[in-house]
Every structure is written in structure tokens, then in C-alpha cells.
Structure 1
Amino acid sequence: MSTTNPLFDEILSKLKIKALNEMQLASIEAADKHDDLILLSATGSGKTLAYLLPLVKSLNPEGKKTQAMIIVPSRELALQIESVFKSMGTSLKVTCCYGGHLRETEENNLVQPPALLIGTPGRLSDHIRRGNITVDSIETLVLDEFDKSLELGFTDEMSFIIGSLPSLKKRMLISATETVRIPDFIGIQDPVKLNFLNSTDQETGLTIQTVASDEKDKLQTLFRLICMLGNRSTIVFCNHRESVERTSNWLKEKDIVNVFYHGALEQQERDAALCKFRNGTANVLVTTDLAARGLDIANLRYIIHYHLPASEDVFTHRNGRTARMDASGTAILILSPEEKLPAYIDPETEKIELPETATLPAKPHWSTLFIAAGKKDKVNKIDIVGFLSNRGQLKKEDIGLIEVKDFFSFVAVRKTKISAALQLIKEQKIKNKKVKIAVAK
């Protein structure tokens, strides 16, 4: 299915998307005809584009004030949406606001108001109190994963933000679960509701399997399972931060290359872990449910539920990291002797028999360089490729995924070439500035 809108067709061409799905087309049509919209659709079904396309259509490129705001529960989701919006290639300015980095950076970006503001409730309410946001001009509000924002206790901040927007005309609420009563402060009246949860669930390419652990401590079973799956991209979900670090360290001792990720890490540590996972430096990510939302990682093959999810919603969101759009994926639950399969999972679910002998998966071919320069230093991907090619004598095929943040960057470099390249570039300058360059910790 294609659109009849030239602007949308141009954007889809830039995103290399051939056609919109049924849910996305329905969302665009509904947003065109109604002021208030509730969209329910499975994780990974393309909801971000389903609301960004009608949003872009409604924004005035000549406007000098902020026209729309997207509120999300996590910085990861905020950054993900910003990335998609920028990839659409419009001339519209966007600013992302979230905790964990300097507020002053955002304040500088807000001096010239962006057409679109994306952010987490705490940081957005802080900016409003400081008078940094042109609240009177915002006419469109999107609440992405609004159920999670309410669940995480952001009710007071969201109530304050929405109460500070006097000119709101349009509200869009987006979620992958249908479990939450919508609070009155959101001000949604007579909304049109699009529920694609059942239809998209049936269409996903997700396979669910179980594996039995002989012991209450499942580490040995997890190790054997990862060995069986090989070096495919895998997320391991644990219920607690302490369990995440314990599991990650134990796997490292068993020579399984992995990274871990949870909410107590500093922002740079989070960025480094996710970048290493995305670029193939580590094929295994051990994490809490923080990674169950807002992360869009290409070609993710396996989800392992090391700890059973706390609810069916959590199970759904964890699994939504794989089998996204038309891809296939597998979710595997590890069950200890005293654990039973949750009631919401088919009791006939396929059981995996692990091989008697475990063979370590092949090691990743990539390593990650940390460069202490980013967007705010006027450094971009082209600069980094040129620097590594000219000064580090790396060929194009030796340089992998590059991620440029505000004040630092990460670059995947073929592991066999990284030592020699480091020696060549250690005294060199990027953009006439000497910066720290090292293998990312």
C-alpha cells in the first residue's frame, strides 16, 4: 500500500520504505479527520511513523515557534524518535530533552524554538518552569507509550506539562498495550480509537520456545543456550540490576562476549553498551526491562527471558525488540524446576533440548573506538570516516557502524586492524583539535 501524498512518498523514499502498512495508513487517515486519536498497535509494527507522518504534514515550515510536543517515558525512546524524525529529511527543526546530560545544551538548542519538541516528563516540565519553551504555540501533543509514563509515576509532571499548554488542539495517544484508564488531565474528548493489537499480533514472525533448567540458578542453562544459538544477536532480560551485572560478569568469565545495560549506569556507559551491541562488538546484551521499550535494534534474532516477566505486558514489550515489521525472531523462556509457564503462554509451546556439549560461539569481528568529540564539536560521520581512512590507514570495509553523540562518538573498527590504527592516530587531530581516542570501555 502506498500513499497518495507526495510529501509522504518523498519521506518514505528517504527512509527506504516501499509502502506503509494498514495500521500506518489508518492512523494517517484518522489523524486527518479527528482531533483526538488513540492508537494501539504491537511493538515493532511501525507506530512511530504512524504518528510522525501526519505530524509533519501539520507543521508549518515557516513557523518560528514550537508547534508540537512528543512526551515519552525514557531517554532511549526520545532519542529513537528524534533519529527517525531526522531521517525523514524535512527542513523542520527538532530538539530532544531528557535527563542524564547537561540541561544547558538543551537550553542553547531552545533559544531558537524547534518546530517539534521530544522529551521525557521530568526534563520537559523543568524547561517549562524555567521559561525555556514557547508553550503558547504548541497545538499538537503526542504521548508515546503513555501507559508506561503513567506506570512509572510521571502523572504529576505530565499533568503539569499538559496544563501548561493553553493552545492544544490535537492529541494522539500511542501504546502497545490496552490496560490503562486515561486520566482526565490529558483532556482527550471523544477520541477515535484504532486497535490493531490482535491483527498485528497474528502477523508477527515471533516464535516462542521454552528451555528447562535443572537447577534454580539458571546460569549454566543460559550459557549452554547461548552456545547453542551461536553468535546471533541476543538480548537476555533479567528482573533486577544486580542480576544483570552478576549474569553479565558470569558470562564473561565463561568467555561469552557481552555487554550489560540498566538504569543506574551513566549516560555515556549506556550509550557505549548499546552501541557495542548494535555494531557487533558484542552479540549478547544483558539488561533489565529498561531495554524493553524504545530500542530499535536491527536484525535482533533472540530474546531470552532469564527471569520470567512480571506480567503479560512486560512479556509483550520484551518480545517486541525482535520480529519487528517483517522480520522473524524467537523468544525463549528459561524455567527453573519450581517455575511454571505463565498462564498467558500456550502450554504446548515448543521445548528446546540443549546439546550435551557446549561449544563457545565465534567471537565478534568488531571492536569499538571511543572518540571524545561529537556534534557539538562540529564532528560528523564523514569527518570520522575521512580521519580513520587518511590518518589510520583503514579501508572502507574496516570501518563499521558510527554513532555520533553530542560530545563523543563511537566507531566500529575491524578487530584485527584496531591496534595498528590506534598507533597511527594517537597523536593526530580531528578538525584541528586533539581529542582522546581509545578502545571503548
Structure 2
Amino acid sequence: MKEKIQTILENLQIKSLNEMQKAVLSGIEKEQDLILLSATGSGKTLAFLLPVLFALQKEIKQTQAMIVVPSRELALQIEQVFKKMQTGFKVTCCYGGHKREIEENNLIESPAVIIGTPGRLGDHLRRGSIRTEAIRLLVLDEFDKSLELGFLTEMEFIVGSLKHLSKKILTSATEAVEMPDFLPLKHPQRLSFLTEEAEKNNSLDVKKVVADSENKLDILFRLLCKIGNRSAIIFCNHREAVERVSNQLYEKGIYNEFYHGAMEQRDRDSALNKFRNGTVNILVTTDIAARGLDIPNIRYIIHYQLPQTQDIYTHRNGRTARMDASGTVVLLLSSVEYLPPYVDQDMEEIALPEKAVLPERTKWVTLFFAAGKKDKVNKIDIVGFLLQKAALKKEDIGLIEVKDFHSFAAINRLKSSNALRLIKDQRIKNKKVKVEIAK
């Protein structure tokens, strides 16, 4: 097992397991269900994927494990980690916003592991698309969030449909979670690393900015100018506020992307990709981004609107200072707003310069390709296309992400106009593919 773990860690470019991951591996050997409480960004995904992997048997050609998550983004990220582990086992994702017909085709030859959101998994189970007789292991990741989002009925149906379970693993980043009646646990073993992690996490600074008027947007603008080109997520409580703040910042010259649950899947993919690849450094979002988004090196979390609960506050802050990196949380307060009781009242106040200087544009721009995995297009194809047809060098090409039916590639902004001109009538794999600046 040690050699296998070492190979997986090398594939993931991780030096070693942390204490929490080691504890889960030790605990999973016992004939008990497992509840894992651990902070966001602490490595929970690998902690439960390793037991999932070691529970799989190659001779069984049916689905053996199911992982249920509250959001499509989290599902896709877990799938990506599992694929990077290079296990040799088939995995597939099922989530709302994805074509059901594609998922049904992927399920014909049963994958060893299915990852999905409650609504879509429940739909497949009712249709008989998922064979359940060999499913022995169930993981409910961020299970408290699934219940919070109103998936209680679907979760109950899923658990009730899996008649042959021998082990359940539940993970959460919050302590106060009431276990629902439909989820019987077998002498559950409880591993909590929340207090330890809170004590260790001295790398998270929490500060405030107080507006001398009701114009919080002006204060936000000046704060972003002070921050410069470091990455930041701005949290608002509602979709309307997200779009309003994003548009007003754009009008002031702050390039950014917004992201919320009512967007079309392509637009969500595009927004996250631009933020991830550095085309923009600012993401304005609702609490949908407080969990499940594994974007490294986020330096600032800005609460433009105060979180409505302590739990939301904790999860928002968990987007930064991940895996020993440092980060800063900033709460924006108007003259009539007060810090909630669960926030340190004596935090440092940030002084903003009177004169705001706009940050420079980033190096990258994102190209959209109207082709993806289902068109047999991969990252190597796109890199080769850009090198050969767009006259770009390797250093001119940034992060590339390939989805089912479309792809995104970051390229040097200064060379983008010429690149688009050169590739206008070119083909990828003998196919004419629409390529344009991602909207």
C-alpha cells in the first residue's frame, strides 16, 4: 500500500500525506462508518479518495463507490483529482446542467466510481441508469451543505436506494451538524481536526474597512486599487448584488468576472477559467463559491456584504490561506453596519490611499474553442494548434481546460489579435472549430 500511495502522491505532486489524511487511512480499516470534520482546504478530498481507491476491486466490473456532493463544481474537482491519481479505474460525473444523455452513455459501461449532485444522482437512480448491487461505499462530501441546500428528500432517496452498503464516509467543515434520521450510521468513528486547524491557522489575517458614507462601492474600488494584481474573491449575498457590483467595478476600470448559480454552464465555466488562469484577478460571487472551488493562491477574501451566519463566514474565509499559504480577509462596513458577534471586534482597520491607481491589466486573455472531449480534442491538440498555427511560443500559452463540448486556453494578451487572425480558417484534427475571445 505504501508504494501505491507514494505513486499517487507523485502523480498529484504532493510530498506527503498530512496528519488528517493519515488518520482517515488508519480509521477506515475499522468496521465502522466515519465522520470527518476538517477545515476547507485541508486536503479532505484526497483523505476520502484513498479509502475509496483501496476499497475498489478490479475483478468487479460494476459501480462500487458513490460520492455525493452539493455542487457540480465540487463534483468536477473530485473527478479531476481522481483522474490525476491514475488509478486505472473508470470514474464519471453526474450533475445538473450536464446533458443527461451523455451521462447515460457514460453509465452504460458501469464506472467503478460515480460522483454527483443529489438531484441528478436521484434522477439516474429512478431511471435505472445506475446499477447499485455492487455499491458498498458511500461518501457524502460536505454533507451538511447538501442538507442546507434543500437536498434532504434526494439524499434520503439515494441512501435508501443503496441496499448493500458496508461503509459510509461523511465529511464536513463545520461542527454543528445534526445527523438526519434517514442516515443510520454503524458505530461511527468521529475524526475532528477543526480545533487543531483553527489553532494552527495563524496565516489568516482578518481586517476591516469602514466607509465614511453609504457608498461602499467606492471603498471597494479603492481597496482593489490598493491590493493591485493579487487575486481576490468578493462575496455578496444575492445574485443581483453580484452582477451589480461586477458591472459597476468594470465601469470603473476594474476587470473582473462574476459567478452565481443562475448562470448557464458555459458562462460559469468561462468565468471560473478566467479567474483560475489569471485573465482576471477579481471574482465577484455568491456563497456558491464558498465551498467546492479549489483555486490555489487566492490572496484576499472580501466580504462586500456581511455573511448571514457564522458558518457562511467560515466557509467564505476557507477559500484563502489554504494548505499553509497566507491570506487576508477583509470585511467592508458602511457607517450603519456593525461586526457580527462571531468576528473579532478589535481587528485592524485598513487605511486606504486618497488617490486610487488602477491595477495593470493581466498578461493573459482567454480563448474559447467550440470543441472538447466529446470531439476527441485534448490539451495536447490545443497546444500543438496554438504553437503551429497561431505562431505562439510555449511561454505565450497559459492554463488550458478541456470540457465536454468546449475548451479554454490562456494566451499572451499582446499576441492575441495576431493569433486570432492566423487561426481564423485553420482546422483542429481536420475540423473547422470556432475560436474566439471568451465572453
Superposition TM-score, scaled by structure 1 size: 0.98
| CA displacement 1:67-109 (0-9 Å, x = unmatched) | 0000001001101111111111110100000001210110110
Matches within 5 A, 1:106-255: 106-204=103-201, 205-255=203-253
Given that 2:32 and 2:187 are in contact with CA atoms closer than 8 Å, whether structure 1 keeps it comes out as no
SS of the equivalent of 2:266 reads helix
SS of the equivalent of 1:174 reads strand
| 1:243 Cα deviation after fit | 0.4
| CA displacement 1:309-357 (0-9 Å, x = unmatched) | 0111101100111111111111100011111111111112111111111
Q: Which residue of 1 aligns with 2:411?
A: 413
| 1:180 Cα deviation after fit | 1.8
Given that 1:61 and 1:91 are in contact with CA atoms closer than 8 Å, whether structure 2 keeps it comes out as no
Match of residue 375, structure 2, among 350, 374, 377: 377
Given that 1:34 and 1:191 are in contact with CA atoms closer than 8 Å, whether structure 2 keeps it comes out as no
Distance 2:107 2:32 in 1: 27
Given that 1:375 and 1:405 are in contact with CA atoms closer than 8 Å, whether structure 2 keeps it comes out as yes
Distance 2:357 2:215 in 1: 21
Given that 2:77 and 2:294 are in contact with CA atoms closer than 8 Å, whether structure 1 keeps it comes out as yes
SS of the equivalent of 1:95 reads strand
SS of the equivalent of 1:186 reads coil
Q: Which residue of 1 aligns with 2:272?
A: 274
Distance 2:10 2:215 in 1: 49
* Equivalent residue letter for 2:292: G
| 1:256 Cα deviation after fit | 0.3
Figure out how many residues of one structure are paired with residues of the other and give that number.
Answer: 438
* Equivalent residue letter for 2:416: I
* Equivalent residue letter for 1:24: Q
| 1:62 Cα deviation after fit | 2.8
Distance 2:215 2:153 in 1: 40
Given that 2:396 and 2:411 are in contact with CA atoms closer than 8 Å, whether structure 1 keeps it comes out as yes
Distance 2:184 2:246 in 1: 44
Match of residue 14, structure 1, among 8, 11, 15: 11
Superposition TM-score, scaled by structure 2 size: 0.99
| 1:213 Cα deviation after fit | 1.1
* Equivalent residue letter for 1:107: E
SS of the equivalent of 2:414 reads coil
* Equivalent residue letter for 2:211: S
| 1:266 Cα deviation after fit | 0.2
| 1:189 Cα deviation after fit | 2.4
SS of the equivalent of 2:105 reads helix
Structure 1, unpaired ranges of 5+: none
Distance 1:16 1:184 in 2: 40
| CA displacement 1:183-239 (0-9 Å, x = unmatched) | 121221210001110101122221111111112231000000000000111100000
Match of residue 36, structure 1, among 33, 45, 54: 33
Q: Segments of 4+ in structure 1 off by > 3 A?
A: none
Structure 2, unpaired ranges of 5+: none
Distance 2:184 2:79 in 1: 25
Given that 1:210 and 1:349 are in contact with CA atoms closer than 8 Å, whether structure 2 keeps it comes out as yes
* Equivalent residue letter for 2:125: I
| 1:151 Cα deviation after fit | 0.7
The range that moved more, 371-380 or 185-194, is 185-194
Q: Which residue of 2 aligns with 1:398?
A: 396
Match of residue 80, structure 1, among 60, 77, 94: 77
Distance 1:215 1:381 in 2: 49
SS of the equivalent of 1:137 reads coil
Matches within 5 A, 1:284-303: 284-303=282-301
